[in-house]
Amino acid sequence: MKIVVIQGPNLNMLGIREQNIYGAMKLEDIHNQMKAVAEQNGFDIEFFQSNLEGEIVDKIQECLGDADGIIINPAAYTHTSIAIRDALRAVQLPTIEVHISNIAAREEFRKKSLISDICAGTIAGFGPFSYHLGMIGMIQILNEIKMMKEAQAKQNG
């Protein structure tokens, strides 16, 4: 099974930008930790980061038929992108929204996510550890789906 991790704008600057909010860990370090968890649990994982909304939409669409679940941090697009929301709804894959900071405790414009209500869950405010929690959640969801499919196949004989 395959998980695709999609990262939005400015996340390539982790470890450099606003360390008081986002911490000192670089995106590559977060991805390496996620990869280790995926491999330990028998999952394939792919990473994608873009500062461009259309490229993120394209990547979500490419997940259809190629991935089993999506972990996404749309970053600033969380609060503005109907296109990302529509793409996630179109592919209908289990999706977990992840944020490093607690968006509910930040500026007023950051408190509204346009994708939270269509995701299986949202994890925010745990710093880079939010991604680890997102991995655990996605692995659990995908394992449950796999078990349900196996049980149905067994019933259908």
Active site residue 131: no
Could you identify the residue written with the tokens 């259809």? 64
Active site residue 22: yes
- State the DSSP string of 61-120: HHTTTT-SEEEEE-GGGGGT-HHHHHHHHHHT--EEEEESS-GGGS-GGGS--SSGGGSS
Question: In this structure, what token pair is assigned to residue 23?
Answer: 């911490």
Helix (H) or strand (E) holding 40: helix 27-40
Q: Per the residue annotation, which of 31, 77, 79, 99 is the catalytic one? A: 99
Cβ–Cβ < 8 Å for 119, 24: no
Strands 2-7, 95-99: pairing is unpaired
Active site residues: 22, 99
